């Protein structure tokens, strides 16, 4: 079922796209073609096909989380090297506009 001009305008409005009349006609044909192809795919029997989660045979590599204490000397050096600090507190400047 081909899309109408109003369908394409509605889709463009939802996507906040501003289309010219020429673009509307072009997208009407392209989107209709895509929907026809999806309809053909819906007709394919995939009942015996196992689900595919990834095209490569990839497995997750997990590691144990290990908490490491920060050496007091490293913490002290980090605070001393920070450009703007107030005692042990580090101050940052906002860059929001």
Mean pLDDT over all residues of the chain? 85
Q: Which long-range contacts (CB under 8 A, 24 or more apart) does 61-64 make?
A: none
Q: What is the tens place of the pLDDT at every residue in 2-23?
A: 899 999 999 999 999 999 999 9
pLDDT at 88: 78
The residue extents of the domains of the chain are 5-42
CA terminus-to-terminus distance, the chain: 49
Over residues 91-95, mean pLDDT? 72
For the domain made up of 5-42, the CATH class stated in words is: mainly alpha
Q: How far apart are CA 61 and CA 83, in angstroms?
A: 39
Count the helix, strand and coil residues of the chain and give each as a percent rounded to the nearest 5.
Answer: 45, 5, 55
pTM of the predicted model, to two decimals?
0.48
pLDDT at 55: 76
């Amino acid at each position: 079922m081909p899309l109408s001009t109003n369908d394409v305008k509605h889709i463009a409005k939802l996507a906040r796209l501003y289309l010219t009349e020429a673009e509307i006609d072009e997208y009407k044909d392209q989107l209709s073609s895509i929907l026809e192809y999806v309809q053909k795919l819906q007709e394919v029997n995939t009942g015996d096909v196992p689900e595919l989660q990834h095209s490569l045979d990839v497995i997750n590599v997990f590691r144990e989380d290990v908490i490491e204490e920060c050496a007091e000397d490293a913490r002290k050096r980090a605070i001393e090297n920070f450009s703007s600090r107030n005692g042990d507190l580090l101050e940052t400047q906002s860059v929001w506009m």
